[in-house]
Structure 1
Amino acid sequence: MTATTAPTGTPEQISPPAGPTTRAQRLRRRLLPAAGAVLSGVLLYLGFAPRELWWLAPFAFALLGLVLHGRGPRSGFALGLLMGLGYFLPLLSWTGVDVGPLPWLALAVAEALFLGLAGLGIALVSRLPVWPVWASGVWLLLEAARARFPFEGFPWGKVAFGQPTGAFLPLAALGGTPLLGFAVVLSGFGLADVVLRLRRAPRTRDRALVTAAVLTVAPVAAGAAATPLVSTEAEHGTATVAVVQGNVPRMGLDFNAQRRAVLDHHVRETLRLAEKVERGEVRRPDLVLWPENSSDIDPYKNADAYTEIEKAVKAVGAPVSVGAVVEAEDGRPRNRQILWDPEKGPGAFYDKRHLQPFGEYMPYRGFFRLFSSDVDRAGVFEPGTRPAVFAMAGTGVGPVTCYEAAFDDVVRDQVNEGAQILSVPSNNATFERSQMTYQQLAIDRVRAVEHGRAVLVPVTSGVSAVIRPDGTVAQRTGMFTAESLVAQVPKRSSRTLATRLGVWPEVLLAGLGVAGIGWAIARRRSATGG
């Protein structure tokens, strides 16, 4: 029988059992980064409307940068995906209000996949010199991709849309939402680089640390420097604008079942506005804006609807932009804004160009029907093909219908077409009292600064608003109330640098991401002799 020999040596020389401790360490090494990635997504979400915690976004990206720095591509993808789920699951919860969790979860996962790819790219470039610059470019590259693909893209949730106020916002007037988003992301990744360098040996705290600190602070300083460029002055006088919110009979998708009641509500509120004008309680408006879907009865084909709208327009004595669902010459429905003159009746029109997939139209309807019969509730709308600006009592009004406000090109096209003010007629009744209407209002506020225009937001059920060119909200309604807002807004024709540059800031900033990924791949191949 062999005796067991006890271990000898000092306590420092004796290693504890390797098994359980090693497994625990491995578990921590996996769980902590995963938890950090999810937390970064949640922090980014918490900065969005209805909260105005714009300053949370840089900290979200600082945490993401710490999590992704030095990781391999597969780990980067997984952590980016977790960040995306922590972000998009709460941000897009309103998409399942009336159709259940399946569409919401599918959309959130699809969008999170883009952030998984962003995480992969950021991990690749995180070993490059001045990595926060390349990493921010990678983020912009994936934002640009998901704004265009699939089904014409889904730009909702761009980083810029969480900045309707705060230090970074003036940058929207210089480079639009791409520059605004890039600045926020760069500041966060710069902060992550500062933390990483401070954790290293003191001898490494040299120029690289200074550079990281500059990258953290410079975007904030640039926003402060750009503040004087955000102009609100009236270049061509002012227009007195009325925004009508008629309310709907009931919340949810089935509000459309009472289409006539929705029209009646907007007629009634416009008649009430006309009475207030006659009593001298409010100024007489030069023009009146109705929301999207304020007449889901085609006034071209339905004489009763035509008569009711005509009555309201004549009573208020001003041209009205009417949101209607109409049947075009090809027999297909259009989501249309109609310029209705009190003397000439219906005239110019604008058809919504960016339609909402799975709502206004259903791609691959037969395939998706295998998963849910709710696909048959989606419409069969056809998109418009061109911008249009309404000449309303000497004011150029550019309609941007609801969901379109999230697309850079649609808003820019209307300004370039000659819009002196912008109108964003919307219908949020489908999403009840969710955060959707507040998220959309934040987008509209960013657009006001980006293009230097007052933005009027008539919504069927709220929140309707009057937004100044500096992004501040001058007036707003409650939700699911019948109200009208009357305000004087500046008419402006000058174009911001962002408007003039168009898509180029996005191309250049996304190009940084492409260049960074290319450089990182080349370095990896060189290191491995490939």
Structure 2
Amino acid sequence: MVDTQTPAAPAAPSAQPGQPRPLPLWAALLTAAAAGGAMLAAFPPYGLWWAAPIAVALLALAVHRRRLRAGLGLGFVTGLLFFTPLLSWTNLHTGAVPWLLLSVMEALYLGLLGAAGAWLSPLLDRRDLRCNAGGWAWPVAVAALWTGQEWLRSRTPFGGFPWGRVAFSQDTSPLLRLAAAGGAPLVTFAVTLIGALLGYAVLRGAGVGPDPRRAVPPLTAVVAALAVAGLAQLVPLAKPAGKAVYIAVVQGNVPRLGLDFNAQRRAVLDNHVNATIALGDRVKAGTARRPDLVVWPENASDIDPLRNPDAGQLIDRAADAVGAPILVGAVLYSPETGVENAGLVFNPGRELGDPVQKYVKRHPVPFAETMPLRSIARLVSKEVDRVTDMTAGSRPGVLSVGPATVGDVICFEVAYDDIVRDTVDGGGQLIAVQTNNATFDEAEARQQLAMVRLRAVEHGRDALMASTVGISAFAYPTGATSGETQFNTPAVVLAELHLSNRRTLATRLGAVPEYVLTGLAVAGLAAATWVRRRRRPVVEEES
């Protein structure tokens, strides 16, 4: 809307005394683009976590006092320059079209965020002009909007795609410990609140002028941003104090990377079998300690070991050689259940045909493990018909593996709050993420490891990531890691982890923080609507 008191065709929009003018459109575009680049820099493999709040501040400055359509466009620019390079690993073997479509779809959510941010402008502009005070609801609402945007993006469409949540950029940040209190949503809110406070300081500082009293609000905002970071350090981190278990993670590697990594399915299985038997030989020779359990990655056996006796016998042989149960990532084929992506427990001494514990992946990845809108998708990529629709499981991945109750999560499931939480609520004493990165690259693997680190802190559980090609590693509730492997390199890594039955505040609260913060975003939009209808004080850009 344009204020009715404004001249019909002004050279530039006017502003009330002490209020900064909106950025010129060219400057707003550059600022929005810089926001996308800064957010990208915060994520692995770059890992400049402090760039995330800067990105939030830049986008807030770009859209402030803009019309909705301008905010939408500027947010979309930010999203496009963030998601397109962040998700570049999706085009390594499927071509550019699916990658660009996914990037555009994800960028649209930041477009909506930009429009919503523009709508919030009256919350900042409505203030006491004599001392440049007021508007403190604005940074809180901006941060809540980021959290609400992630809530929506994690659920829509086709079950959502949470990759690129702000919280997942904070794996080496002091703010990571907030995950123990409110999970990923609270981490996102804290990071974006700091960014919004920095934006508030800039906008308030632009109207300081000669009156020293006007410097108080921007300085207060900077102090508040530092206080948020400081308060995060008061959140206690869980320390698993249960039984110690010695765990081996086998990264067997694949004959070649790419979509046809499993064309030599027997070779992939043999790699994991042989590496485990070699570990067993070292144990027998007294040069290695016997593990209590062994974890193989997703797709370690794409030959169904429950229906193919040869594959089953190979895994049994490996379990007998190492003298420990193996959590195997396998693809199962059955006329009754179809194709399933599963974690199976093979115990030493198992007889052929004996039942095994099984967890079936509950969230097959759309357009990768299941194909919605197949006839339409076929027009986009010729690779569509290589995708077989997998059957989704219905039960949390809680498995007894030797002395431990393992919370099993398969690949991209680690990005979904509820799926990981269910395994802990179901009794998981440690978190195991079985994944296959053979169709991606090291950047994707490091982004995934950042999520594992957050989950370890969030639930106070020691955790591990087992990958076919890397990166495999152990993660701890402090946010630290150990045993990180090289990408595309065979490896066996071992570590002593501790079991835990304690539940952090984040585990107990579940989705409550996310719903509260999303509700706060809705309240902020409602408040901005009320101010617009009552006073209409903001003069906005025509473009």
**TM superposition score normalised by structure 1:** 0.92
Counterpart-to-counterpart distance in 1, 2:337 and 2:205? 66
Matched, 1:352 2:361: yes
In the alignment, what sits opposite 1:440?
448
| Alignment match of 2:141 (pick from 134, 141, 156) | 134
C-alpha offsets along residues 422-446 of structure 1, whole Å, 9 cap, x if unaligned? 0001000011x34111110111111
| Alignment match of 1:182 (pick from 185, 189, 212) | 189
Q: What is the CA-CA distance between 1:346 and the residue it aligns to? A: 4.8
2:245–2:499 Cα contact (<8 Å) kept: yes
In the TM superposition, 1:106-145 aligns within 5 A as 106-128=101-123, 129-130=135-136, 131-145=138-152
C-alpha offsets along residues 35-64 of structure 1, whole Å, 9 cap, x if unaligned? 110111111111111222111111111211
C-alpha offsets along residues 299-353 of structure 1, whole Å, 9 cap, x if unaligned? 1111111111111111111111011100246241000000111123551110001
**Greater mean alpha carbon deviation, residues 374-383 or residues 440-449:** 374-383
Local SS of the residue matching 1:251 = coil
Local SS of the residue matching 2:379 = coil
Q: What is the CA-CA distance between 1:86 and the residue it aligns to? A: 1.1
In the TM superposition, 1:158-307 aligns within 5 A as 158-202=165-209, 203=211, 205=214, 208-209=217-218, 211-226=220-235, 229-232=236-239, 234-307=240-313
1:245–1:458 Cα contact (<8 Å) kept: yes
Local SS of the residue matching 2:369 = coil
Letter in 1 for 2:314: E
Local SS of the residue matching 2:366 = coil
In the TM superposition, 1:388-407 aligns within 5 A as 388-407=397-416
Letter in 1 for 2:107: A
Letter in 2 for 1:190: L
Aligned residues: percent identity? 45
Counterpart-to-counterpart distance in 2, 1:470 and 1:329? 45
In the alignment, what sits opposite 2:54?
59
Counterpart-to-counterpart distance in 2, 1:162 and 1:490? 26
Letter in 2 for 1:134: A
Counterpart-to-counterpart distance in 2, 1:213 and 1:394? 50
Letter in 1 for 2:512: W
C-alpha offsets along residues 338-384 of structure 1, whole Å, 9 cap, x if unaligned? 01111235511100011111100110101111222221122210110
| Alignment match of 1:313 (pick from 319, 322, 326) | 319
Q: What is the CA-CA distance between 1:212 and the residue it aligns to? A: 2.3
1:187–1:218 Cα contact (<8 Å) kept: no
1:244–1:266 Cα contact (<8 Å) kept: yes
Counterpart-to-counterpart distance in 2, 1:43 and 1:166? 16
Local SS of the residue matching 2:294 = strand
| Alignment match of 2:27 (pick from 28, 32, 37) | 32
Letter in 2 for 1:423: A
Letter in 2 for 1:150: P
Counterpart-to-counterpart distance in 2, 1:468 and 1:276? 27
2:194–2:225 Cα contact (<8 Å) kept: yes
2:98–2:381 Cα contact (<8 Å) kept: no
Counterpart-to-counterpart distance in 2, 1:77 and 1:505? 27
In the TM superposition, 1:14-33 aligns within 5 A as 29-33=24-28
Q: What is the CA-CA distance between 1:214 and the residue it aligns to? A: 4.2
Local SS of the residue matching 2:59 = helix
**Greater mean alpha carbon deviation, residues 209-218 or residues 517-526:** 209-218
**Greater mean alpha carbon deviation, residues 394-403 or residues 214-223:** 214-223
Local SS of the residue matching 1:424 = strand
Letter in 1 for 2:62: V
Gaps of at least 5 residues in structure 1 are 1-20, 23-27
Matched, 1:520 2:524: no
2:442–2:487 Cα contact (<8 Å) kept: no
In the alignment, what sits opposite 1:74?
69
| Alignment match of 1:511 (pick from 509, 513, 519) | 519
**Greater mean alpha carbon deviation, residues 273-282 or residues 109-118:** 273-282
Matched, 1:386 2:395: yes
1:230–1:470 Cα contact (<8 Å) kept: yes
Local SS of the residue matching 1:396 = strand
**Greater mean alpha carbon deviation, residues 407-416 or residues 122-131:** 122-131
Counterpart-to-counterpart distance in 2, 1:181 and 1:85? 20
Matched, 1:421 2:427: no
2:146–2:188 Cα contact (<8 Å) kept: no
2:249–2:492 Cα contact (<8 Å) kept: yes
What is the CA RMSD across the aligned residues, in angstroms?
1.8
Counterpart-to-counterpart distance in 1, 2:191 and 2:78? 17
**TM superposition score normalised by structure 2:** 0.89
Local SS of the residue matching 2:356 = strand
Counterpart-to-counterpart distance in 2, 1:323 and 1:90? 30
Matched, 1:83 2:78: yes
| Alignment match of 2:460 (pick from 452, 455, 472) | 452
2:244–2:497 Cα contact (<8 Å) kept: yes
1:126–1:132 Cα contact (<8 Å) kept: no
In the alignment, what sits opposite 2:338?
332
Matched, 1:146 2:163: no
Counterpart-to-counterpart distance in 2, 1:286 and 1:297? 25
Letter in 2 for 1:99: T
Counterpart-to-counterpart distance in 2, 1:447 and 1:517? 31
- Structure 1 pair 528/168, CA: closer, same or farther in 2 (3 Å)? closer
C-alpha offsets along residues 54-96 of structure 1, whole Å, 9 cap, x if unaligned? 1111111121121122222111111110110111011000000
Counterpart-to-counterpart distance in 1, 2:37 and 2:100? 16
Q: What is the CA-CA distance between 1:282 and the residue it aligns to? A: 2.2
C-alpha offsets along residues 206-250 of structure 1, whole Å, 9 cap, x if unaligned? 664355234422320122222xx1133x42221000101111010
2:83–2:107 Cα contact (<8 Å) kept: yes
- Structure 1 pair 57/307, CA: closer, same or farther in 2 (3 Å)? same
Q: What is the CA-CA distance between 1:274 and the residue it aligns to? A: 0.8
Gaps of at least 5 residues in structure 2 are 1-10, 13-22, 124-134, 538-543
Counterpart-to-counterpart distance in 1, 2:102 and 2:72? 18
1:267–1:312 Cα contact (<8 Å) kept: yes
**Greater mean alpha carbon deviation, residues 163-172 or residues 516-525:** 516-525
Letter in 2 for 1:115: L
1:235–1:493 Cα contact (<8 Å) kept: no
Counterpart-to-counterpart distance in 2, 1:108 and 1:44? 14
Counterpart-to-counterpart distance in 2, 1:381 and 1:75? 41
1:186–1:215 Cα contact (<8 Å) kept: no
Counterpart-to-counterpart distance in 2, 1:275 and 1:52? 39
In the TM superposition, 1:485-500 aligns within 5 A as 485-500=493-508
In the alignment, what sits opposite 1:479?
487
C-alpha offsets along residues 279-313 of structure 1, whole Å, 9 cap, x if unaligned? 22221100000000000001111111111111111
